[in-house]
Amino acid sequence: MRIVLCNIFKEGSQVNQILCALLICIPLYGYGNCIGWMSPMTLLLQSKDSPKGVPFTDSEISWMASLPYLSCIPSTYLVAWWGDTFGRKNALIFMSSLTAVVWLLKLCSMSIWVLVIARTLVGVVMAASCVTCPTYIKEISDDNIRGALGCWVALFFTTGSLSAYVIGDLMTYQNILITFLVIPLAHCLIFLAMPESPSYLIKNGRDEEAIKALMWLRCRKGNDSSIKEEIDIIKKEQKNDEGKGKFLLKNILTDKILCRAFQISLVASLARELCGAVPVLNFAGDIFHLASQMMGLVLTPNQQTMVLGVVQFCGAGMASSVVEKCGRRPLLFITSIISGLSMCVLATWFLLNENQISAPAWIPVLMLCLCIFCDASGLMPISVVMTGEIFSYKYRGTVLATTMAIASLADFFQLLFFKPLAKSIGIYVAFYFFGAMCLGTALYVILIVPETRNRQLEEIYDDLRSKKEKRKLEKPNEA
């Protein structure tokens, strides 16, 4: 299949990379289905028409909703180890297989314990989505399209969520599960034809297979100089990591350049989670309810969720189309600024409302949509893309796993404490906090974060060195 496709397209075509990235992202669509499923199904499972025969309690639904964020924390390291040990391709097939198990469990039983187990497994799928998929895409892509393809992580997730909202409103419970089961099963079979990551193959001494994989991905012949040059770059990158020990996090924290790169990845990941999108999504119903009372806007809960799904989809689509034109740094800065200002405006609206000062009812709806749009168009995809670009093969999986684990922990505590704190100190305080976090991130981007678009690792690390460190490196060369 790979040889046939290479013969169809002209030499140097990037079509095979796009096809491979598309198939890498199908599990992300399935992950979006898993997350989005909770929204329409919560209404059904807690109604008198519940497929179980009796409505689920608030406690049961809460556990089902929050468990993926807990199981995701240890799972990030599991999937990072799996990808480094058995290959990105095998990790992705494992991810699709696990997604199929999630839907099969839900089909087989309505027991709360079976559903809780299924939702716990979603946490593993979540971890693989944020660790394996962006890593794999980075390692099969040319420099000039890796950002656009990397943004597909957000695009396919939001598409999967939106599909779940729409399908959940149209189909019966059983038919929804069957529809979502077919997707990962088909992916497992189709993805067998795709190549393994060249970086993984070279790391394991399988140079011939790496050359064949690059020949197919780049649509070039084996004796092409660009293939040999790319193999040499990968080998040089991996050789630089030799002799640095097996305790990867210790290496990262003790090496000045790696530590600075890790700080950038962590700040970007936390900005993604603390921009206000998580609580905004949870408060969407209340905000839409207020708007409907004051504007005559009438939407059902599912229609409200679909509106947010469309906004997310549009944001993710914009990111993939402009990221290679404007770069990672400007997009992250602009979305941080807009998100921060929207959260401050939303907080002010709540403050005025609490003091019984009238303010336009369209403001909270617009600010909500702006926050979700910025999250999907910049904060969510760029944090993942940049992390893949500022670390070598050896550290990529571990860093993505660590930042994802910390971000998941932040999400869990937000969901756990946001409403009680909002009631005790005022919801406007919380949104001012989110606004300050976003504006602080924008300042951090301007002062610290380097541009990574179309740049090799050595060039990026050179930007992270201080003037004093650069002078030390130049002296031996002068001598």
Q: What percent of the chain has pLDDT over 90?
A: 31
CA distance 332 to 236: 30
Q: 154 pLDDT exceeds 70?
A: yes
The predicted-structure confidence for 41-80, as pLDDT tens digits, reads as follows 877 888 888 888 888 887 787 778 778 888 888 898 899 8
Contact yes or no for 115/64 (Cβ under 8 A): yes
φ and ψ at 157, to 5 degrees? -65, -50
Residue 349 has which token pair? Answer: 């609206």
Residue 345 sits at the vertex; the CA angle it makes with 340 and 346, to the nearest 5 degrees, is 95
Mean pLDDT, residues 104-126: 91
Low-confidence winner among 28-37, 281-290, 319-328 (lowest mean pLDDT):
281-290
pLDDT of residue 300: 66
CA distance 433 to 248: 33
Q: 4 pLDDT exceeds 50?
A: no
Low-confidence winner among 31-35, 116-120, 319-323, 462-466 (lowest mean pLDDT):
319-323
Which domains does the chain possess? Answer: 13-194 (1.20.1250.20), 250-464 (1.20.1250.20)
Contact yes or no for 349/367 (Cβ under 8 A): yes
Amino acid letter, residue 426: G
The predicted-structure confidence for 135-150, as pLDDT tens digits, reads as follows 999 899 988 888 888 8
Mean pLDDT, residues 6-15: 71
pLDDT of residue 291: 57
Q: 294 pLDDT exceeds 60?
A: no
pLDDT of residue 96: 95
Q: What is the pTM assigned to this prediction? A: 0.81
Q: 192 pLDDT exceeds 70?
A: yes
DSSP secondary structure of 270-287: HHHHSSSHHHHHHHHHHH
Distances (CA, A) of 475 to 19, 458, 460, 464, 479: 47, 18, 20, 18, 6
CA distance 96 to 431: 37
pLDDT of residue 1: 46
Q: For CA atoms 100, 103, 108, 113, give the dihedral sign.
A: positive
Residue 133 sits at the vertex; the CA angle it makes with 128 and 138, to the nearest 5 degrees, is 145
Q: What percent of the chain has pLDDT over 70?
A: 90
Contact yes or no for 477/376 (Cβ under 8 A): no
- How many C-beta neighbours within 10 Å does residue 357 have? 9
Q: What is the mean pLDDT of the chain?
A: 84
Contact yes or no for 132/109 (Cβ under 8 A): no
Q: Which residue has the higher pLDDT, 243 or 210?
A: 210
pLDDT of residue 339: 93
Contact yes or no for 153/384 (Cβ under 8 A): yes
pLDDT of residue 342: 93
The predicted-structure confidence for 326-358, as pLDDT tens digits, reads as follows 888 999 999 999 999 999 998 998 899 888 888
Terminal Cα-to-Cα distance of the chain (whole angstroms):
54
Distances (CA, A) of 275 to 24, 280, 364: 27, 9, 16
The predicted-structure confidence for 422-442, as pLDDT tens digits, reads as follows 778 878 888 899 999 999 999
